[in-house]
Amino acid sequence: MSLDTPNTLPALTDIPEIGPEDMAVIRRLLEERIGFHLCRYKDKCVMRRINIRIRATNSDTPTAYCRLLEHDGREMTQLYKALTIHVSHFFRNPSVFDMLRDSVLPELLAVRAGTGSEAVFWSVGCSTGEEPYALAIILREYFSDLIKRIPVRIIATDINAEILDAARRGLYVVERVAEVPPLLVDRYFAREGGKLRLAAEIRDMVTFREEEIFSSGFDRKCDLIMCRNVMIYFERPWQELLLKGFARSLSEGGFLVLGKSETMIGEARRYFAPVSPVERIYRALPAAGQQQGG
Ligand SMILES: C[S@@+](CC[C@H](N)C(=O)[O-])C[C@H]1O[C@@H](n2cnc3c(N)ncnc32)[C@H](O)[C@@H]1O
């Protein structure tokens, strides 16, 4: 059975539905081999992704795909990659970054300048680095004097090590950079064989770490957390757990930025006040830091 042969793919509808027994096998293999917990993710999305891999490997049935997965490490890597969707680009939803630049960061940095302490930013589910790097570009471009005086730390985490290697390299196809204002492209990117390499001065501002969100413990104290287009893939109880974890991690008055299709839910609403519901920017209330557990 060959891998990734898109020309001979059967239509998605030709593949029988994945039954509970096959799902149990896939779940077990992902947990045993790479410690990935499929049960936290929304069923519909997971099924769609697995079906894509069944089709890409020309497996006749989900059971045949399970047999392949059992023995083929490369397919395990492919499936893992398909399940941890990595779509991203620089300044995704640009109005969010405008608001960060114009109101959130000036306030946040003024507070840190007053206390003289480090400003900590955390990009959760950072994929190939576009989000934390966009933040670094804004800090370098618009707050250069302030960040000479205030120590700034940008931590970017993701579950997928391979994706993080790509993030560290900072080499992007032009489409990923399309929403960066031209002036900033000229200043911070260099052409390299048809792609764009991000300047070392920006790359050096971000520390990438392999980290599973729920295993992170939420012990890191942060002033701003960006977790965009990650929560949406999780079942509701896990979304709520995530939000409560962020409440625990944020310093009093710290900011949380969610993706455009994500929102504050359940008990977590008690720990955040909306700053801009449209941009999905929230602020940790005083009780938030007393959250227990992750
Ligand atoms: C769609 S990307 C979002 C990228 C970026 N935040 C953005 O909005 O452009 C989702 C990222 O979440 C990561 N992810 C998924 N599950 C995760 C988990 N349990 N722990 C940490 N990262 C996870 C994936 O590997 C992927 O890179």
What pLDDT does 111 receive? 94
Give the confidence band of 15 by pLDDT, cuts at 50, 70, 90: low
* Per-chain mean pLDDT for the chain: 92
The total number of structural domains in the chain stands at: 2
Ligand 1 centre from 209 Cα, in Å?
A: 13
What pLDDT does 1 receive? 32
Compute the distance between CA of residue 48 and CA of residue 52 in angstroms, rounded to an integer.
Answer: 6
Answer yes or no: do 79 and 98 share one domain: no
Answer yes or no: do 179 and 106 share one domain: yes
Q: Which atom of ligand 1 is nearest to the CA of 212?
A: 20
Answer yes or no: do 46 and 104 share one domain: no
Compute the distance between CA of residue 191 and CA of residue 197 in angstroms, rounded to an integer.
Answer: 6
In sign, the C-alpha dihedral spanning 62, 63, 66, 68 is negative
Among 52, 84, 116, identify where a domain stops: 84
Is any ligand 1 atom within 6 A of the Cβ of residue 176? no
Ligand 1 centre from 286 Cα, in Å?
A: 28
Answer yes or no: do 78 and 192 share one domain: no
What percent of the chain stands above pLDDT 90? 88
Structural domain range at position 222 = 94-291
Answer yes or no: do 73 and 117 share one domain: no
Compute the distance between CA of residue 43 and CA of residue 38 in angstroms, rounded to an integer.
Answer: 9
What pLDDT does 260 receive? 96
Write out pLDDT tens, residues 99-136: 999 999 999 999 999 998 999 999 999 999 999 999 99
Write out pLDDT tens, residues 178-219: 999 999 999 999 999 999 999 999 999 999 999 999 998 899
Answer yes or no: do 173 and 248 share one domain: yes
Assess contact for 275 and 255: CB atoms under 8 A: yes
Write out pLDDT tens, residues 49-78: 999 999 999 999 999 999 999 999 999 999
Is pTM beyond 0.85? Reply is: yes
Answer yes or no: do 147 and 65 share one domain: no
Residue 78 located in a structural domain: yes
What pLDDT does 2 receive? 33
Is any ligand 1 atom within 6 A of the Cβ of residue 230? yes
What pLDDT does 292 receive? 52
Answer yes or no: do 186 and 45 share one domain: no
Ligand 1 centre from 8 Cα, in Å?
A: 30
- Which secondary-structure segment (H or E) carries 122? strand 119-124
Assess contact for 80 and 27: CB atoms under 8 A: no
Is any ligand 1 atom within 6 A of the Cβ of residue 29? no
Assess contact for 226 and 121: CB atoms under 8 A: yes
Answer yes or no: do 101 and 48 share one domain: no
Is any ligand 1 atom within 6 A of the Cβ of residue 163? yes
Is any ligand 1 atom within 6 A of the Cβ of residue 84? yes
Average pLDDT over residues 218-244: 96
Residue 178 located in a structural domain: yes
Q: Residue 15: which CATH number?
A: 1.10.155
Q: Is the pLDDT of residue 14 over 60?
A: no
